[in-house]
Chain A
Amino acid sequence: MINSELFSILLAFVSAITAGLIGSFALMKRMTLAGDAVSHIALPGIGIALLMHLNPLLGGATALLIGTLLIWNLEQKTNLATETAVGVIFSASLAIGALVTPSAELEEALFGNFQALSLHNFLIHLLLAVVIIGFLIRYRHQLILALFSPDLARTAGVRIKWLNLFYLLAFSGTVILGLQFLGALLMGSLIIIPAAVSRQLTHQLKSFLTMSVLVSIVSVGLGFITSSYYGWQLGPTVVTIAAAIFVLSLLKKKK
């Protein structure tokens, strides 16, 4: 089978686009913290899969699916304890993941590793990205009305419960896209930071979405250039650059 770094690079950019979009909605839905935390649950899945000599990505994806259902369930009980529970469960999953993941692979699972990708793997990830972006485009109206007011959306016939589930699945799907090159710890950051930057810069929905995607792409692009020039690890470089752009964006005063 052909393994190519080109596939990995393409996938990194496709992930960046998806992350920018899903992150914009995460920020508007005020779930940036829970969203960041949910990516951590991939770690124990990766660890267990490695121990059992299974595909670590599959393990991560399974753990994410379980985590998504858990968060979805907790979300329906809106109280303060929910947020605390999310915090505890997902920090704990990081700790458990660190314990079960063989130490040789731990760093890679946490921070990602850039490596050549098979065509087969690339196509599966690409399909996932297309499904996620398609969902966001198809359901953007429902998502927007629901994040403004769930009650209003309900009276317009939006089924909030299912919409939330699909959104969370799309979020976890986005984490899966980035697991290989950014790792369980950093993919959450690529989802959140570009949206946060974009929010600093604009009040308009369209430019907010566009800019979030652009910042994500630029972070990944500059990450590739910088990391290969200095021989740094790709994942941490990408997130550091995104964070630096965020700091710069703070300098701009909103109109």
Chain B
Amino acid sequence: MEHLLSVSNLSVSFDDETVLEDINFELKAGENLAIVGPNGAGKTVLLKALLGMLRYKGEIDWAPNIRVGYIPQKIDAEKHLPLNLRNLLEAKAQILKEPALAIQHVIKAAEISKSFLETPIGHLSGGQFQRALIALALLGQPQVLILDEPTASIDERGEEQVYNLLHRLQDEYGVSLILVSHDLSVVYQYATHVLCINRTKVCLGPPHEALTPETLEKLYGARQKFFHTLHQHDK
């Protein structure tokens, strides 16, 4: 299988505080990696390091010329921006020098309707906004999509739509996912591998093997049995 990414001895520190230590994992084509861990475990930091947005120690080796799409957890963009998805897609296509046809392709892949395209981003629902981000990430034909809590702030219906879309992208386009999630059911459903971190690696492997009760206990401590309710609060 084609090697997409290999990470070894990765550490990230801010000032004197180590937020990630000794992280090792690999990603091959067709694999989907879920990253789980409690709040403050360093999941977003890990994604940003992978994207080269942070300084780190250790090795992050992407396959040569790999194309990566990123879907951030939260966009701080003000909701009142006079922009719609079409503006954003056109802007990104111009930057990447992608032809106009690429936009049509992405719209189709992400099942974006014409009225959706023209709706100001501030007027989109949580689920729509997330789909818009996915469409935007798909421009440039990524081989890997990096998603940070793609359903953190949306309702269940929106969540289902987002995951159905991701499923389809995996099946039809062979995109690999690296996905941070709070929701263990999502991990079981979508990930071929799971990496549990709490500043350092706690487990790694296929979800059914790696996520043992002991690991979860170690990862979330005594809170684990309340995890489900906590998660509901997060929404």
Q: Could you tell me which A residues sit within 8 Å of B by CB distance?
A: 28, 30, 140-142, 144-145, 147-149, 151-158, 199, 202-205, 208
Distance between Cα atoms of A158 and B53 in the complex (Å): 12
Give 10 pairs: A residue, B residue, CB < 8 Å, sorted on A. Answer: A28-B81, A28-B82, A141-B95, A145-B95, A149-B72, A152-B92, A155-B68, A155-B69, A203-B122, A208-B82
Distance between Cα atoms of A223 and B53 in the complex (Å): 48
A residues less than 8 Å from B120 (CB atoms)? 203-204
A residues less than 8 Å from B69 (CB atoms)? 155
Of the stretches B21-29, B30-38, B83-91, B158-166, the one at the interface is B83-91
Q: Out of A30, A142, A148, which one reaches B75, CB within 8 Å? A: A148
Q: Is chain A's binding surface mostly helix, strand, loop or mixed?
A: helix
| A144 shortest CB reach to chain B, Å | 4
Interface residues on B, range: 20 to 34
Q: Out of B48, B53, B68, B82, which one reaches A204, CB within 8 Å? A: B82
| B65 shortest CB reach to chain A, Å | 13
Q: Which of A28, A140, A151, A204 neighbours the largest number of chain B CB atoms within 10 Å of its CB? A: A151
| A71 shortest CB reach to chain B, Å | 19
B residues less than 8 Å from A151 (CB atoms)? 48, 51, 53, 70, 72
B residues less than 8 Å from A145 (CB atoms)? 88, 91-92, 95
Q: Is the CB of B78 within 8 A of A144?
A: no
Q: A145-B92, A149-B75, A156-B92 are in contact. Are A205 and B53 (CB under 8 A)?
A: no
| B93 shortest CB reach to chain A, Å | 8
Q: Is the CB of B77 within 8 A of A205?
A: no
Give the top 4 A-B pairs by smallest Cβ distance, nearest first.
Answer: A141-B91, A141-B94, A208-B82, A203-B120
0/1 interface trace, chain B 114-138, chain A, CB 8 Å (1 if under): 0000001111000000000000110
B47 to A, closest residue via Cβ: A151
Q: Is the CB of B82 within 8 A of A205?
A: yes
